[in-house]
Amino acid sequence: MEVENFYHSGMGRFEGAGLLGRQKQGTVDPFPQGDHGISRNDHFIVELLDDLDSFENPPRTLTSSFGKLADLVADKCDAAKRLSFNYKSYSPCFPELFLLNGSSTQLGV
C-alpha cells in the first residue's frame, strides 16, 4: 500500500508529561466566526507534528502505539501535511464544510 498524502491534526502522542505535546499559556486572536465554546485565553499545544520528517524524526519519543503509526506514515506515505487554519492549501478537493466541535461550520472563502 502506498499513500500519496497523509493529512493529520498535528497532535502526536508522546511519552511522559504532555502526552499530546508541550503546551503554552497564551491568548489567541478572536475567532473569525464565533468562539464555538473555545476559550481565547488558555493553554495551547505548541509541539506539533507537521511534515513527513516530523514523523520520521519526532521531537520526543512517541508512545508505542502512536510510534507504530508514525513508522507506517514514514514508510508508506509520500508526504504528510498538517491541517491548520490554512485549510485551502491542504484540501483543494473538499467542500468548505468542516466539523468543528461536532457541528458543521461553513468556512468563508
Query: Would residue 14 count as lying in a domain?
Result: yes
Query: Would residue 104 count as lying in a domain?
Result: no
The pLDDT tens digits along the chain (109 residues) read 788 899 998 999 999 888 898 888 888 888 788 888 888 888 888 899 999 999 999 999 999 999 999 999 999 999 998 887 555 554 444 444 343 334 333 333 3
Query: Would residue 102 count as lying in a domain?
Result: no
Those residues with Cβ within 8 angstroms of residue 40's Cβ, 6 or more apart along the chain or in another chain: 27, 28, 29, 30, 31
pTM of this prediction? Answer: 0.68
Query: Residue 94: its pLDDT value, please?
Result: 45
Q: What is the DSSP letter of 15?
A: S
Query: Would residue 48 count as lying in a domain?
Result: yes
Split into its structural domains, the chain has a count of: 1
Q: Which helix (H) or strand (E) holds 27?
A: strand 23-27
Query: Would residue 94 count as lying in a domain?
Result: no
Domain that includes residue 40, residue range? 3-84
Query: Would residue 76 count as lying in a domain?
Result: yes
Q: What is the 3-state secondary structure (H, E, C) of 37-73?
A: CCCCEEEEECCCCCCHHHHHCCCCCECHHHHHHHHHH
Q: CA nearest 3: which of 79, 69, 68, 88?
A: 79
Q: What is the DSSP letter of 79?
A: E
Query: Residue 59: its pLDDT value, please?
Result: 92
Coil vs helix vs strand at 19: coil
Query: Residue 102: its pLDDT value, please?
Result: 40
Extract the C-alpha cell encoding 35: 468562539
Query: Would residue 57 count as lying in a domain?
Result: yes
Query: Would residue 109 count as lying in a domain?
Result: no
